[in-house]
């Protein structure tokens, strides 16, 4: 019998959502998951749902496709989860990633009166006092928010992003359910602990929390604007903080043409190859200079606002690279170009978050040599950076190495912008754009001022370490003298054994109590201990009844656990 989770009491408030999820799992042929997680133990659904079997044609559909259909049917939170996980090949098998990439938000806009009511609540003033004009219908709608065009009393045109009512509560409920299911899956589905479902949900929770907080997006826009400064090739919308809150975001309205509208761009006389170069150059600069980049640069989020000028929109999801990560990534790319397999192996290990888990360095080096040979003689204009990086990523994952989450966002961004560039110009070559940025980054590592700065920082850290060392040693000795020094050892391989022992001990205790109850009830009846009912001791009868119920309970629990 599966022990209930500590947080289960809290999730009883969400039974309807659990029922919906389990019914959909059964509908798409995942009754094996329902059985293995013993979800019936947690939620009483009734036989009509639990005994439901999927239609025969459903079981013929590939499992990955059925997972996508389940996420779509479960709605916004699960779709978002699938979209984010589609960028994480370290978590998700390749065949599932291909399906998850097909997930699309397709939710109808919510009523404008609801949006106006939220604006007035958040900004604490009537809409007419806040805006001279406000659109009757949204100009864009998505799963978390929708956008209206408005005009301030100063005459400035603005775009007002309004969060969906109750979306915060809906997502909180769904994430809580996801976390409980992830813990169950990690504990009871063999082999799934390698995929770290709990870590997947934790990562998703962090990302979605940022997307729900429009203050975060406002700060992202301002940091983005500061990075580009006076750059004439990139326009960044202005944020109006006095008309913004955690659930409302008001920014400058951008007059432009989406990068995907080629006909309109050509009608305006724009040169498409120039626009491809401008957009890609802006993103590569974000990655290798600023270390702060747009994580979803699809054509709908890039507007053309001039012959060689673009504007990025939707700053809810941004990637961040610190200086060390930037330089390690640059060194890795240089090693690929220079066909330096030995240093490439070192760069991969430096980039990895778990290099000590690698068991065969020589085999990794051989695989990396083969990887470089596959692409070394391919002309740059024929080479796809997305294909190269995804191939490298697949190789790294095969060796059980993990990379920082930012690297997966970076690859997604480069793949997306490369696709946008090739749509605008079939001869588009992003590697030529990347090359000078990488070269500058590598040269910067050997700049005398940089070396002096690093040396000064290292000296200061060494001084602090030596200064604090005597005090740390004294504290350690004090713990030893008091007998308070404790070493915690974790034996992961013993966890399943301990759980089995714990379960068996509980059942043994239950059985002993049950036997004692039977024996004591029999003695009471034999001794005719009052009070009596129809000549039989009441206490003895009640004792037998309780013992029978407890015995049936124990048998059912053993039967449901599958261990007779």
Give the relative orientation of helices 405-424 and 323-338 as an angle to the nearest 10 degrees.
60
487 exposure class (CB count in 10 Å sphere: 0-12, 13-18, 19+): exposed
* Cα 293 from Cα 289, distance rounded (Å): 10
Residues with catalytic annotation?
A: 296
Write out the H or E segment, with its range, that includes residue 149.
Answer: strand 145-152
Buried b (16+ CB within 10 A) or exposed e, 351-361: bbeeeeebeee
Positive or negative CA dihedral for 450, 456, 459, 463?
negative
Q: List phi, psi (to 5°) of 535.
A: 80, 5
Buried b (16+ CB within 10 A) or exposed e, 424-433: bbeebbbbeb
Per the CB < 8 A criterion, the answer to whether 212 and 144 are in contact is yes
**Paired sense of beta strands 292-294 and 318-320, if any:** antiparallel
* Cα 295 from Cα 329, distance rounded (Å): 17
Which pair of tokens denotes residue 23? 């019914």
Which pair of tokens denotes residue 24? 């959909």
* Cα 368 from Cα 343, distance rounded (Å): 10
Which pair of tokens denotes residue 428? 């588009």
Write out the H or E segment, with its range, that includes residue 455.
Answer: helix 448-482
Number of C-alpha atoms within 13 angstroms, CB side, residue 33?
18
- Of the chain, the end-to-end C-alpha distance in Å amounts to 11
- Asked if residue 281 has a cis previous peptide bond (ω within 30° of 0), the answer is no
Per the CB < 8 A criterion, the answer to whether 541 and 533 are in contact is yes
Which ranges constitute the DSSP H helices of 124-213?
Answer: 127-130, 167-188, 197-212
């Amino acid at each position: 019998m599966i022990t209930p989770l500590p947080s289960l009491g809290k999730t009883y408030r969400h039974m309807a959502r659990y029922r919906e999820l389990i019914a959909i799992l059964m509908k798409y042929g995942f009754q094996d998951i329902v059985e293995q997680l013993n979800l019936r133990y947690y939620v009483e659904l009734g036989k009509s749902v639990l005994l439901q079997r999927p239609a025969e044609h459903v079981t013929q559909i590939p499992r990955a496709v059925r997972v996508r259909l389940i996420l779509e049917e479960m709605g916004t939170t699960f779709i978002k989860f699938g979209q984010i996980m589609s960028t994480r090949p370290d978590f998700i098998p390749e065949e599932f990633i291909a399906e998850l990439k097909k997930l699309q938000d397709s939710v109808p806009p919510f009523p404008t009166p609801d949006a106006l009511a939220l604006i007035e609540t958040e900004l604490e003033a009537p809409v007419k006092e806040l805006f001279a004009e406000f659109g009757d219908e949204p100009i864009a709608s998505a799963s978390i928010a929708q956008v209206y065009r408005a005009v301030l009393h100063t005459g400035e045109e603005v775009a007002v992003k309004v969060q969906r009512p109750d979306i915060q509560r809906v997502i909180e409920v769904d994430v809580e359910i996801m976390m409980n299911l992830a813990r169950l899956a990690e504990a009871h589905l063999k082999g799934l602990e390698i995929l770290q479902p709990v870590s997947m949900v934790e990562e998703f929770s962090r990302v979605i929390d940022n997307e729900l907080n429009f203050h975060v997006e406002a700060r992202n826009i301002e940091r983005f604007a500061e990075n580009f400064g006076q750059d004439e090739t990139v326009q960044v919308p202005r944020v109006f903080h006095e008309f913004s809150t955690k659930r409302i975001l008001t920014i400058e309205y951008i007059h432009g043409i989406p990068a995907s509208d080629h006909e309109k761009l050509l009608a305006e006389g724009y040169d498409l190859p120039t626009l491809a170069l401008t957009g890609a150059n802006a993103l590569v600069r974000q990655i290798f200079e600023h270390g702060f980049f747009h994580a979803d640069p699809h054509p709908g989020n890039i507007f053309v606002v001039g012959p060689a000028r673009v504007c990025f929109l939707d700053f809810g999801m941004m990637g961040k690279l610190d200086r060390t990560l930037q330089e390690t990534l640059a060194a890795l790319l240089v090693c690929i170009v220079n066909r330096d397999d030995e240093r490439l192996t070192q760069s991969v290990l430096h980039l990895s978050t778990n290099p000590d888990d690698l068991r065969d360095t020589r085999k990794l080096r051989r695989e990396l040599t083969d990887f470089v040979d596959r692409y070394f003689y391919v002309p740059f204009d024929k080479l796809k950076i997305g294909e190269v990086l995804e191939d490298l990523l697949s190789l790294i994952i095969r060796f059980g190495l993990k990379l920082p989450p930012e690297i997966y966002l970076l690859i997604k961004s480069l793949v997306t912008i490369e696709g946008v560039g090739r749509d605008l110009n079939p001869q588009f070559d992003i590697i030529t754009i990347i090359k000078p940025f990488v070269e500058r980054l590598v040269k910067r590592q050997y700049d005398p001022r940089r070396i002096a700065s690093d040396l000064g920082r290292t000296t200061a850290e060494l001084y602090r370490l030596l200064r604090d060392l005597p005090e740390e040693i004294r504290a350690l000795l004090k713990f030893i003298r008091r007998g308070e020094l404790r070493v915690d050892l974790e034996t992961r391989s013993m966890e399943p054994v301990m759980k089995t022992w714990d379960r068996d001990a509980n059942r043994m205790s239950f059985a002993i109590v049950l036997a004692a109850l039977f024996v004591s009830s029999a003695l009471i009846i034999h001794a005719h201990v009052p009070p009596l009912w129809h000549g039989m001791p009441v206490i003895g009868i009640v004792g037998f009844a309780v013992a029978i119920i407890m015995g049936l309970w124990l048998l059912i629990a053993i039967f449901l656990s599958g261990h007779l």
